[in-house]
């Protein structure tokens, strides 16, 4: 074996689509290329040993924000114990501002941007000469019809145990400055018939959990409808063995035809991830995010009230021009719209993103280490930002987990942000931790806080029991048959 493609995924269930694209496009080198995925958190020496077992000539690493530190250590070790192995890096984390990165200094070559064409070309040159002169190779962007689709490379084990990532298009036409996709300036569609054929094959092989990585699934409604029809057809034919499809959508674009299609999906089969990021028009303008807030709110309200789709909506704290009060207003507005989950994200300064232009004017201070989170800006000081970070973590544990569904309204009442912030500050004062809080303990703490707020103890106990205390772990994990294909957390939300 000559070429090894590797990456450290954030979880075992995440099967790397990027590596499979590279493998699918290796041409004649595919026969001597293999794929070896790991999960972050393993011992560096163990990974290095496993990678070197078959004496590869080239190792290509997919480098992302979640694995860059561990991959840097791994590359450093490989270069010590096997200096002749050629290391090629690719992925978003090394596609921009690579000049200042330790991992780039250690590696032999870097492919920036798309690797489908450039990585195999580079491998050919490394293996057969002439030796590539440049260290950094800008990835060619061929027409999507020239790129081999990777889906046949999902193994039966991937299909049985992992989320299958698929993409009907690449790129995004919008320019939100905090997002790497803003650099694309447009979206490119894959040939839809060929793509649907691949989905058909995956479904026939047993795939039921499909996650679309398209940045804006609902831009081209005709395409969206055909993809949704594909899933509706499967659901109608096999109601006892449903599929679950996840799409990222822009919130202010839900024409009637799309709504009609959405309404046909039964519970537990459809999830939308919707980026709101901020409801503040001045902040949106500052970060070049185009969004009709009224339409977006109407659409989210309609989705929560009329459809059975599971909704995961993103907000970002720490954007330039947004203070805590403005963020709180947006948060409360979103809670009022009733999505199942609100992802409370903290702004990250991703390499290459244009948001850097606001650094001086808005006093943006970022952590220089991944994931490059904002630490303070001119409107939110460091201690307050830390409180927001803890809010986000506790929000995940209490609200997004779906484990406190009946208790949550007692916590939030008529001022969700302020009340949850009070709980968050209290939880931190009593635990000094945001991680490794056992569910039993968390339930006890939430109950204690509610009683301190004046709620009658029997009511608190009864509500918590309804959510959690009376249920065995097995019951908590059990899924209603109607939501069989849905991941456990989503099934909990839908069961409420
Ligand atoms: S945030 Fe969403 S809409 Fe904006 S550029 Fe990124 S992918 Fe596109």
Q: Which of 169, 175, 186, 215 to mutate to test the pocket of ligand 1 (most atoms within 8 A of CB)?
A: 215
Q: Is residue 323 part of a domain?
A: yes
**320 in the same domain as 443:** no
Q: Is residue 385 part of a domain?
A: no
Q: Is residue 399 part of a domain?
A: no
**227 in the same domain as 164:** yes
Nearest to 174 by CA among 314, 290, 278, 255: 290
Query: What's this model's pTM, rounded to 2 decimal places?
Result: 0.92
**353 in the same domain as 211:** yes
Residue nearest to atom 2 of ligand 1 (CA): 215
112 by DSSP, 3-state: which?
Answer: strand
Average pLDDT, the chain: 94
Q: Which domain holds residue 329?
A: 154-380
Q: How far is the CA of 175 from the centre of ligand 1 (A)?
A: 6
Six-digit token string for 455:
């709620």
Contact by Cβ (8 Å): 344, 391: yes
Q: Is residue 386 part of a domain?
A: no
**109 in the same domain as 179:** no
User: How far is the C-alpha of 412 from the C-alpha of 320, rounded, in Å?
Assistant: 27
**158 in the same domain as 140:** no
Q: How far is the CA of 290 from the centre of ligand 1 (A)?
A: 10
Contact by Cβ (8 Å): 336, 363: no
Q: What is the CATH number of the domain that holds 159?
A: 3.80.30.20
User: How far is the C-alpha of 427 from the C-alpha of 434, rounded, in Å?
Assistant: 8
- CA 60 vs. chain centroid, Å, equals 23
How many residues belong to the chain?
496
pLDDT range class, residue 480, cuts 50, 70, 90 = very low
Nearest to 22 by CA among 134, 126, 118: 118
Domain stops at, among 97, 121, 145: 145
Q: Is residue 397 part of a domain?
A: no
Q: Is residue 418 part of a domain?
A: yes
Which ligand 1 atom is at minimum distance from the Cα of 175? 5
Domain stops at, among 380, 415, 441: 380
Six-digit token string for 486:
């849905």
**118 in the same domain as 206:** no
**172 in the same domain as 126:** no
Q: Is residue 398 part of a domain?
A: no
**415 in the same domain as 282:** no
Would you call the peptide bond into 371 cis, given omega within 30 degrees of 0 as the criterion? yes
List pLDDT tens digits, range 393-449. Answer: 999 999 999 999 999 999 999 999 999 999 999 999 999 999 889 999 999 999 999
**492 in the same domain as 459:** yes
Which ligand 1 atom is at minimum distance from the Cα of 250? 3
**487 in the same domain as 409:** yes
List pLDDT tens digits, range 72-116. Answer: 999 999 999 999 999 999 999 999 998 889 999 999 999 999 999
Strand spans (E) along 231-379? 244-249, 270-277, 310-317, 341-346, 365-366, 374-376
pLDDT range class, residue 277, cuts 50, 70, 90 = very high
**370 in the same domain as 417:** no
Contact by Cβ (8 Å): 279, 334: yes
Residue 119: partners with Cβ closer than 8 Å, 6 or more residues away: 22, 25, 26, 60, 88, 90, 111, 139
Q: With the CA atoms of 202, 204, 208 and 211 taken in that order, what torsion angle do they form, in degrees rounded to the nearest 10?
A: 20
Q: How far is the CA of 181 from the centre of ligand 1 (A)?
A: 6
Q: How far is the CA of 250 from the centre of ligand 1 (A)?
A: 8
For residue 459, pLDDT beyond 90: yes
Domain stops at, among 96, 123, 145: 145
Q: How many domains does the chain have?
A: 3
Contact by Cβ (8 Å): 420, 412: yes
User: How far is the C-alpha of 74 from the C-alpha of 397, rounded, in Å?
Assistant: 32
**352 in the same domain as 207:** yes
- What pLDDT sits at residue 496? 65
Contact by Cβ (8 Å): 412, 335: yes
Q: Which of 169, 171, 172 to mutate to test the pocket of ligand 1 (most atoms within 8 A of CB)?
A: 172
For residue 469, pLDDT beyond 90: no
List pLDDT tens digits, range 355-408. Answer: 999 999 999 999 999 999 999 999 999 999 999 999 999 999 999 999 999 999
- What pLDDT sits at residue 1? 62
373, exposed or middle or buried, with CB in 10 Å at 0-12, 13-18, 19+? middle
Q: How far is the CA of 44 from the centre of ligand 1 (A)?
A: 34
Contact by Cβ (8 Å): 274, 251: yes
Q: How far is the CA of 183 from the centre of ligand 1 (A)?
A: 10
Q: Is residue 394 part of a domain?
A: no
Q: Which of 181, 277, 350 to mutate to test the pocket of ligand 1 (most atoms within 8 A of CB)?
A: 181
Q: How far is the CA of 3 from the centre of ligand 1 (A)?
A: 34
Q: How far is the CA of 228 from the centre of ligand 1 (A)?
A: 22
Q: What is the CATH number of the domain that holds 44?
A: 3.40.50.280
Q: Residues lining ligand 1, CB < 6 A?
A: 172, 174, 176, 179, 181-182, 215-216, 250, 275
């Amino acid at each position: 074996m000559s070429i090894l493609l590797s990456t450290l995924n954030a979880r075992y269930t995440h099967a790397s689509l990027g590596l499979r694209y590279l493998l699918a496009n290796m041409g004649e080198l595919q026969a001597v290329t293999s794929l070896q995925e790991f999960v972050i958190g393993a011992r560096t020496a163990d990974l290095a040993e496993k990678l070197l077992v078959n004496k590869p000539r080239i190792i290509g690493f997919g480098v992302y924000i979640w694995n860059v530190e561990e991959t840097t250590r791994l590359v450093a070790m490989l270069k010590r114990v096997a200096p002749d192995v050629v290391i090629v890096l690719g992925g978003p984390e090394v596609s921009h501002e690579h000049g200042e990165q330790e991992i780039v200094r250690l590696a032999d070559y870097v492919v920036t941007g798309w690797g489908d064409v450039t990585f195999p070309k580079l491998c050919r040159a490394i293996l057969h000469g002439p030796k590539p002169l440049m260290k950094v190779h800008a990835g060619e962007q061929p027409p999507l019809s020239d790129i081999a689709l990777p889906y046949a490379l999902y193994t039966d084990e991937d299909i049985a145990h992992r989320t299958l990532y698929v993409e009907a298009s690449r790129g995004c036409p919008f320019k939100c400055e905090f997002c790497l996709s803003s650099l694309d300036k447009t979206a490119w569609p894959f040939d839809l018939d060929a793509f649907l054929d691949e989905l058909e094959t995956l479904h026939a092989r047993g795939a039921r959990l499909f996650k679309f990585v398209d940045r804006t699934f609902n831009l081209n409604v005709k395409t969206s409808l055909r993809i949704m029809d594909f899933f509706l057809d499967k659901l109608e034919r096999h109601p006892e063995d449903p599929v679950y499809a996840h799409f990222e959508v822009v919130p202010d674009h839900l024409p009637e035809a799309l709504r009609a299609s959405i309404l046909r999906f039964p519970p537990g089969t459809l999830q939308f991830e919707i980026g709101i990021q901020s409801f503040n028009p001045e902040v949106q303008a500052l970060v070049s995010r185009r969004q009709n807030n009224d339409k977006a709110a109407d659409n989210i309200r309609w989705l929560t009230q009329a459809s059975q789709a599971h909704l995961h909506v993103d907000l970002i704290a720490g954007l330039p021009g947004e203070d805590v009060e403005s963020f709180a207003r947006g948060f409360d507005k979103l809670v009022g719209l009733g999505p199942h989950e609100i992802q409370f994200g903290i702004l990250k300064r991703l390499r290459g993103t244009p948001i850097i232009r606001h650094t001086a004017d808005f006093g943006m201070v970022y952590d220089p280490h991944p994931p490059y989170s904002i630490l303070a800006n001119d409107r939110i000081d460091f201690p307050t930002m830390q409180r927001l970070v803890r809010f986000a973590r506790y929000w995940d544990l209490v609200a997004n987990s779906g484990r406190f569904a009946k208790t949550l309204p007692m916590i939030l009442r008529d001022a969700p942000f302020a009340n949850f912030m009070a709980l968050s500050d209290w939880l931190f004062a009593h635990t000094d931790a945001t991680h490794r809080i056992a569910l039993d303990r968390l339930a006890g703490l939430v109950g204690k806080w509610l009683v301190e707020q004046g709620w009658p103890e029997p009511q608190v106990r009864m509500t918590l029991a309804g959510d959690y205390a009376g249920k065995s772990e097995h019951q908590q994990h059990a899924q209603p048959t109607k939501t069989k294909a849905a991941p456990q957390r989503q099934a909990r939300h839908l069961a409420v």
